[in-house]
Amino acid sequence: MKKSILFAVAALALLASCTKVDTVVADQAITFNVANYLQQTRADAYNTDDNFGVYAYWTANNWDAEGTANIFMDNEKVGYNPSYAEGSWGTESTYYWPRTGAITFACYSPYTAQGRENGYSEVPSFTKENGFTISNYTIVDQTDVDLMTADVVPDQSRNAGAAATGQVAQNAPVPVLFHHLLTQVAFKFKTVENPNPSVGESEIVVNEVVVKNVANTGNYTQVQATPTQDQPAPVWSRQAGEARYEFNSANSPLTVLPTDNEPKATSVPSRILLPQDLTAVQADITFTIRTKYGDNWAEETLTSTVNLATANVPAWLPNMSIVYIFTIDPVSKDPILFDPAIAPWDTTIEVPITIPEA
C-alpha cells in the first residue's frame, strides 16, 4: 500500500514537470483618442463625422535612432466607431500591438486615399526628416476644410500594467493632438450712437464684405531645415493665386444698431484660408448709413477698401484665428463749426441836407 502511494505521488510529480504552462495575454487592438488629449481643457473635440490618416513605423528600440524604414501602417484611414472602448477611433482593418519593439505614429486630417480631395493634389507624404509634406494644397471654394497634422507620437508600446514613459496602458488609445495648418478669418461689425441731437435713430446696414488678392494654393512642409531664431523658416511656401472670398452678400444684409451689446458676425461667420503675407490682401466693405430725421429716413451707401495688413497682424499664420472687428461711425469725426464774419457795408452815399431849408 505504501509503495502504491509513493508511485502515485511520483507519477503526479513527473506529470507536473512535463506540463507546459503559458501566460495567456489577449491581443490588444490599436485605437486612437483625439477627443481630449491628455485632459487638456482647451482642446476641442475631434468631429466624429471626420476621418484622419495615419502613418506608423515599427522600430526595435528608438525612433530617433532608427527612422522610418519599417512601415507598420501606410496611410491607413482612421474613423470613429461607438463600439470602441470609450468612443475611441480605429483603423478600418484592425491592427494589434506587437509584443516586441515600439510603434511611432504620425497623423494628418482630413484623410485622403487618392489625392485631389478637400484641396489635396496628392496624398500627403511623411518622412522622419521633413515630417508631413503636402504639395500644391488648394483652398476649396465654398468649403471650410480644416487641414491639420498631429504631434508625432514616438516609441509607443502596449503595457499590461501602469503605463510608463513611451507606453500606453492596456486598453488605452494612442493620444493624438492635432494642430491647425491654416488660418481662420472672421469679420464682425458694430456701430456707435449718432451724436447729433436732432437725429431720432440711426443704423448701419452691411451689404457686402469681400476679401480679395488672397493666395489660395501653396506647399506645406512640417519640419523646416536650418531655421534661425530671428527668422524661422515658414512651413508654407510658394503661395500663389488671387482668390476672392465673400463673407457677406447684399442678399443677406447685416443690420447693426448702436444698442447692440456685441459686434455682429457676417453671414459667413468665418473661413479657413491659406497662411500668407497680407501686403496685398484687402477687404471691400459696402455699407449703408441710415439716419432718421423727424419722420423721414435718409440713407447713403459707401464702399471702403481696407488693407488687412496691420502692425500687429502683418501675416496670417498657421493655427491662428483672427477676428477683424470694424466700427462704422454714422458721422465723421469733424464737428460742424462756424466761421462768422460781417459783410462790408454797401458803397457809402453822402446825402447833403441843409437845415433849415431856404
In a domain, 16, yes or no: no
Neighbours of 27 (CB within 10 A): 9
256 φ, ψ to 5°? -120, 125
Chain centre to alpha carbon of residue 258: 31
Question: Which stretches of the chain score pLDDT less than 70?
Answer: 1-27, 35-43, 85-87, 159-171, 224-234, 358
d(CA 242, CA 222): 25
Considering 180, 200, 215, which residue would you say is the last residue of a domain? Answer: 180
Q: Which of 298, 25, 323, 302 is nearest to 161 (CA)?
A: 25
Domain count, the chain: 2
| Residue 76, pLDDT score | 96
State whether 197 and 170 are in the same domain.
Answer: no
State whether 191 and 321 are in the same domain: yes
Do residues 228 and 294 share a domain?
A: yes
By CB atoms closer than 10 A (0-12, 13-18, 19+), residue 103 is: buried
* Pairing state between β 131-138 and 125-127: antiparallel
Same domain, 115 and 87: yes
Mark whether 35 and 85 lie in a shared domain.
yes
70-82 as b/e: b if 16+ CB within 10 A = eebbebbbbebee
CATH number at residue 199: 2.60.40
C-alpha cell at 208: 457686402
In a domain, residue 342? The reply is no
Gyration radius of the chain's alpha carbons: 36
Residue 35's pLDDT is 54
Asked if residues 79 and 109 have their Cβ atoms less than 8 Å apart, the reply is: no
Tell me whether residue 337 is in a domain.
no
**Inter-residue contact 105 to 149 (CB < 8 Å):** no
Position 136 in a domain: yes
**Boundary-marking domain end, from 180, 197, 220:** 180
In contact, 166 and 63? CB cutoff 8 Å: no
Q: Which residue has the cell 478600418?
A: 92
Distance CA 256, CA 265 (A): 10
Helix (H) or strand (E) holding 265: strand 264-265
Check whether residue 151 and residue 226 sit in a common domain.
Answer: no
Q: Is residue 231 part of a domain?
A: yes
Q: Are residues 76 and 130 in the same domain?
A: yes
- Residue 344 included in any domain: no
Retrieve residue 323's grid coordinates: 477676428
Domain of residue 91: give its range: 26-180
Give yes or no: residues 61 and 128 share one domain.
yes
Give the per-residue pLDDT at 1: 43
Are 116 and 198 contained in the same domain? no
Distance CA 103, CA 153 (A): 9
Give the alpha-carbon dihedral of 107, 110, 114, 116, to 10 degrees. -130
The answer on 222 and 170 residing in a single domain is: no
pLDDT at position 119: 93
Amino acid at 58: W
Return the CATH number at 44. Answer: 2.60.40.2620
The pLDDT value recorded for residue 164 is: 54
Same domain, yes or no, for 209 and 129?
no
β-bridge mates for residue 78, sequence order: 52, 91
Q: Residue 154 falls within a domain, yes or no?
A: yes
Mean pLDDT of the residues in the chain: 84
Which of 171, 315, 335 is CA-nearest to residue 234?
Answer: 315
* Confidence (pLDDT) at 15: 32
SS3 percent helix, strand, coil of the chain, rounded to 5, is: 10, 40, 50
User: Cα 219–228–321 angle (5° rounding)?
Assistant: 50
CB within 8 Å of 45: residues ≥ 6 apart: 34, 35, 36
Q: Are residues 164 and 189 in the same domain?
A: no
Asked, for residue 346, whether it belongs to a domain, the answer is: no
